[in-house]
A and B are shown apart, each in its own frame.
Chain A
Amino acid sequence: MNRSIISKSLLIALPMLALGACSSNSDVDAESAEKNATQAVEQVVDDVQTNTIEAIELTAEEQLAQLYTDAILKTTIHFEFDKSLIMPDYAVILDAHAKYLVNNTDKTITIEGHADELGTPEYNIALGERRALAVSTYLENMGVAASQITVVSYGEEKPVNLGHNEMARTENRRAELVY
């Protein structure tokens, strides 16, 4: 849901990496595109004329996805009721973020733990932290330094779905990766 915001912040954190990756992958194309851009005027030689076109560029999201798979664009991990176990479906997302953080040791991440409305607010703070720590442990096991990770639990205080039904509760039981 916050996909575009998160991917934007990832890109702001990482413009050099994305650009560098682009040029190293396709040196020649990039150069000619650059040259064309600086000489964006019509060239007239004898009877023929040539003109430039704009190069096709990947979007910021596509550049990140190319490096770390589409999973890097997902930043929400969901959990079962009253559980903090990371379900297999979410491993690919965490693997992508772990790879990014290992490649960029100057980057830090905050893991926000959240709970649904069931149970008391104070208990849910504890439950939210357990979820955030499960994510933190996973990333650390993948090689991310503990110093790159901050954990905070908001319990049931910041729901993404304000409803009071099972669908809302499923959406609200989550950990969010914030760069």
Chain B
Amino acid sequence: MFIRFIMALVLVTACSSASARLEILITEGVNSARPIAVVPFKWLGQGKKPQNFSEIIAADLQRSGKFNPLSINNMPKTPSTSAEVDYAAWTKLGIEAIVMGEVKPDTKAGHYIVTFELLDVLTGNVNMADYNPIMDKRRNTVATNQLRQYAHRISDIVYEKLTGERGAFLTRIAYVAVDRKSSHPYQLRISDYDGEGEKLVLRSKQPIMSPSWSPDGRKLAYVSFEKRRSQIYIQDLYTQKRELMTSFPKINGSPTWSPDGTQLALVLSKDGQPEIYTFNILTKSLQRLTKNRVIDTEPSWAPDGKSIIFSSERGGRAQIYQVSLTTGKTKRITWEGEINLGGTITPDGDNLVLVSRHNGNYMIAVQDLDSGELRTLTKTKLDESPSIAPNGSMIIYSTVYQGKQGLALVSMDGRFKANIPSNNGDVKSPAWSPFLQ
């Protein structure tokens, strides 16, 4: 086990030098990541290959914390089809599975034919007629501008075949960027989950906050101060149509979409203190859920849509509470840590991801909802806005990195962390999209 850990360190060093944009840090703990090989895809065309598939796939799988891709330098051979594979050589290295493929130009201009195979090394090494080592094999025609997406698609397929859980690499993140040199410094942007393919969807002279995805991935709800006051808008990402939801006096904040897509949970302070409401998007009717003389904020729906968790100072310092939408009953659910904020329940309903303050440091933590046990996942001081991948495997959050606010990823077990470098300005308030296909 110890040797495996050392090997992981070496591999990661090699991997991060291959991909300068991504910095992966391994914290302490036992490496349970499974060794696999992502062989460089063979380019069968002329000139430079159009996209480095293996690099994208290996980085995806590694960031999940569940896989440990072998460095290219340590590969016995670099086959591109299952017929060429010498399973014994890979078995000797302890590799469980191999991903390999080929890319060639299509007869249609601007398109490529991408084939890939996923092989089970153990089955291949046994070499019995009844057991096929090919776990998956596909051939697709892909347009140039879709190649990077398709690499993430392959990662999703590999992840699902090997773990039994759906992959979340073909997803996006929405976040707020502040570029103080721009005429419209406050910007709402969307990129692939790994920070690539960034697109601007809204820019403003005044702050933008709290983006939240609709469950169908088509729309974002967010707070905008464009009228020098807070207002909640919904924007369709495909048509650009914007619709004003609430514009009450004082705070209109923290919108989050209900799992069925019909309502927003949000915060209004029109009647005094910040209180939690549900808001029907179609009928615009409001239902107030909290009523007391202290701050209640940051509502987040339980995955079953039957309750809402939120942060409240009703017990003194901020802690996380849960209110049932059927009975209206409220209970406190966090007890450890000086202050707990920004909670979200994981898609399986088992854990709570939150910002927990310990010794004055704000860190991302996960709490087992059954046992109440809380584990901090990060060690930096200013971590906030955690958002969970739709398959529950990773968390994206905002942190301060090299003096700037930026985004970072951490695997749910806390072992793998990767900073996502930002091109310009501060970046914060990430929101991970739902599954997009």
> Contact partner of B229 among A120, A122, A126, A152, CB < 8 A?
A152
A154 touches B207 (CB 8 A): yes
A121 touches B428 (CB 8 A): yes
Closest to A112 in B: B228
Bound-state CA distance A35–B403 (Å) is 61
A121 touches B269 (CB 8 A): no
Least distance between A131 CB and chain B CB atoms (Å): 12
Q: Of A154, A155, A157, which is in contact with the most chain B CB atoms at under 10 Å from its CB?
A: A157
Q: Does B277 contact A (CB under 8 A)?
A: no
> Contact partner of A121 among B209, B225, B318, B339, CB < 8 A?
B209
Bound-state CA distance A129–B209 (Å) is 15
Least distance between A71 CB and chain B CB atoms (Å): 26
Q: Of A118, A119, A122, A127, which is in contact with the most chain B CB atoms at under 10 Å from its CB?
A: A122
Bound-state CA distance A129–B210 (Å) is 17
Bound-state CA distance A33–B245 (Å) is 59
> Contact partner of B253 among A122, A130, A158, A164, CB < 8 A?
A122
> Contact partner of B230 among A125, A130, A158, CB < 8 A?
A125
Q: Write out the residue numbers on chain A whose beta carbons fall within 8 Å of the beta carbon of B311.
A: 120, 122-123
Would you give the 0/1 interface string for A87-111, flagging 1 where the beta carbon is closer than 8 Å to chain B?
0000000000000000000000010
Least distance between A98 CB and chain B CB atoms (Å): 21
Closest to A118 in B: B362
Q: Does B36 contact A (CB under 8 A)?
A: no
Q: Write out the residue numbers on chain A whose beta carbons fall within 8 Å of the beta carbon of B382.
A: 117-118, 164
Given contact pairs A152-B230, A154-B207, A121 touches B384 in the complex (Cβ within 8 A): yes
Closest to B428 in A: A121
Given contact pairs A125-B253, A129-B251, A120 touches B207 in the complex (Cβ within 8 A): no
Given contact pairs A118-B362, A120-B341, A129 touches B274 in the complex (Cβ within 8 A): yes
Q: Write out the residue numbers on chain A whose beta carbons fall within 8 Å of the beta carbon of B355.
A: 120
Closest to B429 in A: A121
Given contact pairs A117-B382, A122-B298, A151 touches B274 in the complex (Cβ within 8 A): no
A121 touches B403 (CB 8 A): no
A122 touches B254 (CB 8 A): yes
Bound-state CA distance A129–B385 (Å) is 20
Q: Does B289 contact A (CB under 8 A)?
A: no
> Contact partner of A122 among B210, B339, B362, CB < 8 A?
B210
Q: Does A153 contact B (CB under 8 A)?
A: yes
B341 touches A119 (CB 8 A): yes
A120 touches B298 (CB 8 A): yes
Q: Of A125, A152, A164, which is in contact with the most chain B CB atoms at under 10 Å from its CB?
A: A125
Bound-state CA distance A120–B362 (Å) is 9
Bound-state CA distance A155–B186 (Å) is 14
Closest to A155 in B: B209
Closest to A158 in B: B207
B362 touches A123 (CB 8 A): no
A157 touches B274 (CB 8 A): no
Closest to A154 in B: B207
Q: Write out the residue numbers on chain B whose beta carbons fall within 8 Å of the beta carbon of A110.
A: 228
Bound-state CA distance A118–B338 (Å) is 13
Bound-state CA distance A110–B362 (Å) is 32
Q: Write out the residue numbers on chain A whose beta carbons fall within 8 Å of the beta carbon of B385.
A: 120-121
> Contact partner of A129 among B250, B362, B429, CB < 8 A?
B250
Q: Write out the residue numbers on chain A whose beta carbons fall within 8 Å of the beta carbon of B407.
A: none
Q: List 25 A-B contacts (CB under 8 A).
A: A119-B318, A119-B362, A120-B355, A121-B209, A121-B385, A122-B210, A122-B254, A122-B298, A122-B342, A125-B230, A125-B254, A125-B267, A125-B297, A126-B267, A126-B269, A127-B295, A129-B250, A129-B251, A129-B274, A152-B230, A153-B251, A154-B225, A157-B186, A157-B209, A157-B225
**Which residues of A does B touch, CB under 8 Å?**
110, 117-123, 125-127, 129-130, 151-155, 157-158, 164
Q: Which 7 A-B pairs have the closest CB atoms?
A: A157-B207, A126-B295, A120-B342, A126-B274, A122-B254, A120-B341, A122-B298
Q: Could you list 20 further interchain pairs (A-B, Cβ under 8 angstroms) beyond the known A119-B341, A120-B298, A122-B297?
A: A118-B382, A119-B318, A120-B311, A120-B341, A120-B355, A120-B384, A121-B384, A123-B295, A123-B298, A123-B311, A123-B341, A125-B253, A125-B297, A126-B269, A126-B295, A127-B295, A129-B250, A154-B225, A155-B209, A158-B207
